[in-house]
Structure 1
Amino acid sequence: MHTPPLRLLPWTTPEGNPCYLSTDSGRSRLSLLADDIEAAQLDSGEQVLAGARAVLSDPGAGERAVRFALTRAAESLEDVLRVAVSRGARVGTGDR
């Protein structure tokens, strides 16, 4: 009997630890919720990237604006990397 690998979910515990899902179906309610959140995180990352580029191209941007843009970019990068790891682990398993 084949046991599917655990899916890394796109959120963490309140303590910052990773959350995993064990399911036989990539179409379960929690799997679909995770898919939706991953999509939202990727969309947010695109918006943060556009904002960061705008700040970086503005020679008059102050330290606060640059720090804010970099903080948001780091948060988005963390989300995108978690999505990439999760999806990479599922390549070839039949799930997305």
Structure 2
Amino acid sequence: MTDETPAPTSTSTPTPRLLPWTSPDEKPCLPLGDGEGFISRLANDIEAEQLCYTTELRKEARRMLDGRSWTIGELQLLAVELTEALDAVQRIAESRGAR
């Protein structure tokens, strides 16, 4: 017999993850999990796509503004798209910061 006591097992409490989408009533989606499941992988894929889209949108905005030949409608659309992209990037940053 030995006098060793078994090491305590750590039970980690799953933490909620802010997903890159909201519920139909615009509430945040915060599932619990270990970060390895289908929803986490889907969220990772969507975040990656959102970041790629934001990069391309930023390049397009730079080209458009450098050209100095835009219409009011084009500027309004650009403002809407950039705002949506900023919302997505902020959500991703919040989600990753919490993890």
Q: Do Structure 1 and Structure 2 share a fold, with TM-score over 0.5?
A: yes
Deviation at 1:2, TM superposition (A): 3.1
1:51 to 30, 50, 60: 60
More strand by share: 1
- Rg comparison, structure with higher value: 2
Per the normalisation by structure 2, the TM-score is 0.83
Distance in 2 (alpha carbons) for counterparts of 1:67 and 1:2: 47
- Number of matched residues? 89
Deviation at 1:70, TM superposition (A): 1.0
RMSD across aligned C-alpha pairs, in angstroms?
1.1
Partner of 2:44: 35
Deviation string 1:28-59 (CA, Å, 9 cap, x unpaired) is: 11111111011011111111111111222222
2:19 to 9, 17, 22: 9
Decide whether the 8 Å contact of 1:52 with 1:70 is kept in 2: no
Distance in 2 (alpha carbons) for counterparts of 1:10 and 1:46: 17
Structure 1: where are the runs of 5+ without partners?
Answer: 91-96
What percent of counterpart residues are identical? 38
Q: Which runs of 4+ in 1 moved over 4 A?
A: none
Per the normalisation by structure 1, the TM-score is 0.86
Paired letter, 2:55: E
Distance in 1 (alpha carbons) for counterparts of 2:92 and 2:48: 9
Decide whether the 8 Å contact of 1:55 with 1:61 is kept in 2: yes
Paired letter, 2:31: L
